[in-house]
Amino acid sequence: MRASRSSRLSGLVIPVLVIAAALSGCAVVDPHNIIGRIYVAPPLADTPVPTVGGDSWKREAFNYVWRTINEKYYDPKLNGVDWQAVRAKYEPLLLATKTDDDYWELLDKMTGELKDSHTRVQSPKQVAQQRDNEAHSLGFTFQELDGVLMVTGVNADSDAYWAGVRAGMVIKTINGEPALTLYRRLLSEARDSSTAWARSRGALRKISAGEIDSKVDMTFIRADGGAGGGTDAGNNRDSNNAGEIVATLKRRAFKTPPEFIHRVLPSGFGYIRFSNFIGSLEGEILKAVDKMKTTSGMIIDLRNNGGGSLSMSEDLITKFLSDKTKGTKILTRTGKAPTLFFIETTKLEPELNGSKASAYTQPLVILTNQNSASASEVFSATLQDLGRATIIGARSCGCLLGYMGYADVPGGGQLAYSEMGFVTPKGKRVEGEGVTPDVELALAKADIMLNRDRALEAAITFLQNKTAAPKLTTLSADAAK
């Protein structure tokens, strides 16, 4: 989670402060190098320039990442990890890597020794994708459920969609290898992370992500076991088993802009879903809460919301509180709040100003799943602790630490490192644990195959019982989109 509130400095203030920093010495006025990590112009080149001047950058990059974490990680005990031993283990391996891709992957794996999803290294290629709001992948999502690798969603612009692949199908083989066997092998090799679920995402990315136009041969088992080919007859090849699809899929570039939807459901309850806690969405989301203030209950759908801005999370929390209250406590290495130009960018024990008469005070449900992370977890855990919201769905990611922007790494990569820990108002640590729902509903194979959204149905039923509202037809997953 990006934890800095320095983005609230706006207009002509920033240029003046930057000049002041240059004149005064950044180490004094900007000890956390917030300006260097946030207020920088984007690269002019199409992609970062990684390797100029031989391999000397490899040692420089390694030293920079290791030293920065050693000196600035929020926990002085480094999560109990012997960081000197990590250096001894990884330095010779990194210097011996044969390709740039291998180097960056291994350097990231080194940061994974901290078991922290927020502390990570991005390669120059990943930096470029993030800058362009792109993902290079096969264009569909999947996860292990009940001993199979199941498709959970398909992008309509992907090769998979036009080959006839749909949610609910099982992946049987990948490049001729049993899919589950390959996935579990990649899982054993994946970098460590905050939780087992967070680690599994690394294995899933290894299968889906890659160079644009690179190809993967895959076999899928139809959810209904029926016959029939995909839309693209030239690419799709039915196997001897009529219940299977065999296809060669290309990885493509998919845009990943922020997503936001709000509406009053047929049940009469308000519904808001958004993909990230990102500044460009904040104003519209706050307006949406106000527009639906007359609804008798509201659902905030944070499933697959990867988090983002701490300040936005807190701003949204206050829309559901009438009075001032304590927020999530922040932990830092020094025990002091981060500063920029001698001004605290955040409070270690923040007070959330309630919205008084304009607050939304009707029953509130928050939907979460294993991809609800970071700022989503601050929002969910805080309102749950305060008794203001009921959480329905699956346990969240357990990925709740904070950083204040990416730092440039020699060779063209970038480093995020956790500078803040968080404790909920009742003293709970979400990192490594996740937010436990009040009503737990795990994703089920049958629901995917039926395109059924049981968590949303449960939320509507809960609000109906809570408000004694007349029971109308609940929404399917498609209707909620």
Look at residue 337 in the predicted model and tell me its pLDDT: 86
Q: Report yes or no: 475 and 456 within 8 Å, Cβ to Cβ.
A: yes
In a domain, 65, yes or no: yes
Note whether 305 and 380 are same-domain residues: yes
Note whether 283 and 358 are same-domain residues: yes
| pTM flag (> 0.95) | no
Which domain CATH number covers 53?
1.20.920
Residue where a domain terminates, one of 233, 255, 277: 255
Note whether 97 and 152 are same-domain residues: no
Which domain CATH number covers 193?
2.30.42.10
Which domain CATH number covers 364?
3.90.226.10
Long-range contact set of residues 12-16: C-beta below 8 Å, sequence gap at least 24: 14/39
Note whether 351 and 212 are same-domain residues: no
Look at residue 26 in the predicted model and tell me its pLDDT: 53
In a domain, 322, yes or no: yes
Look at residue 34 in the predicted model and tell me its pLDDT: 54
In a domain, 416, yes or no: no
Please give the residue range of the domain that contains residue 213: 138-255
In a domain, 456, yes or no: yes
Q: Report yes or no: 392 and 363 within 8 Å, Cβ to Cβ.
A: no
Q: How many domains does the chain have?
A: 3
In SS3 terms, the chain reads as CECCCHHHCCCCHHHHHHHHHHHHCHHHHCCCCHHHHHCCCCCCCCCCCCCCCCCHHHHHHHHHHHHHHHHHCCCCCHHHCCHHHHHHHHHHHHHCCCCHHHHHHHHHHHHHHHCCCCCEEECHHHHHHHHCCEEEECCEEEEEECCEEEEEEECCCCHHHHCCCCCCCEEEEECCEEHHHHHHHHHHHCCCCCCHHHHHHHHHHHHHCCCCCCEEEEEEECCCCCCCCCCCCCCEECCCCCCEEEEEEECEEEECCCCEEEEECCCCCEEEEECCECHHHHHHHHHHHHHCCCCCCEEEECCCCCCEEHHHHHHHHHCCCCCCEECCEEECCCCCCCEECCEECCCCCCEECCCHHHCCCCCEEEEECCCCCCHHHHHHHHHHHCCCCEEEECCCCCCCEEECCCEEECCCEEEECCCEEEECCCCCCCCCCCCCCCEECCCCHHHHHHCCCHHHHHHHHHHHHHHCCCCCCCCCCCCCC
Note whether 300 and 430 are same-domain residues: yes
Note whether 19 and 68 are same-domain residues: yes
Note whether 245 and 300 are same-domain residues: no
Beta bridge partners of 298: 270, 364
Which residues, 6+ apart, have CB-to-CB distance to 33 below 8 Å?
26, 407
Residue where a domain terminates, one of 131, 157, 188: 131
Look at residue 1 in the predicted model and tell me its pLDDT: 73
User: In the block, which residue shows the tokens 């049958």?
Assistant: 446
Look at residue 226 in the predicted model and tell me its pLDDT: 54
In a domain, 418, yes or no: no
In a domain, 410, yes or no: no
Note whether 55 and 121 are same-domain residues: yes
Note whether 292 and 360 are same-domain residues: yes
Per residue of the chain (481 residues), what is the pLDDT tens digit? Answer: 765 443 333 333 334 333 333 333 455 454 555 545 554 444 434 444 444 457 899 999 999 999 999 999 999 999 999 999 999 999 999 999 999 999 999 999 999 999 999 999 999 999 999 999 899 999 999 999 999 999 999 999 999 999 999 999 999 999 999 999 999 999 999 999 999 999 999 999 999 999 999 999 999 999 876 544 444 434 555 445 668 999 999 999 999 899 999 999 999 999 999 999 999 999 999 999 999 999 999 999 999 999 999 999 999 999 999 999 999 999 999 999 887 776 777 889 999 998 999 999 999 999 999 999 999 999 999 999 999 999 999 999 999 999 988 999 999 999 999 999 999 999 999 999 999 999 999 999 999 999 999 999 999 999 999 987 555 544 444 433 3
In a domain, 221, yes or no: yes
Note whether 209 and 353 are same-domain residues: no
In a domain, 475, yes or no: no
Note whether 148 and 126 are same-domain residues: no
Residue where a domain terminates, one of 224, 255, 286: 255
Look at residue 177 in the predicted model and tell me its pLDDT: 98
Note whether 25 and 89 are same-domain residues: yes
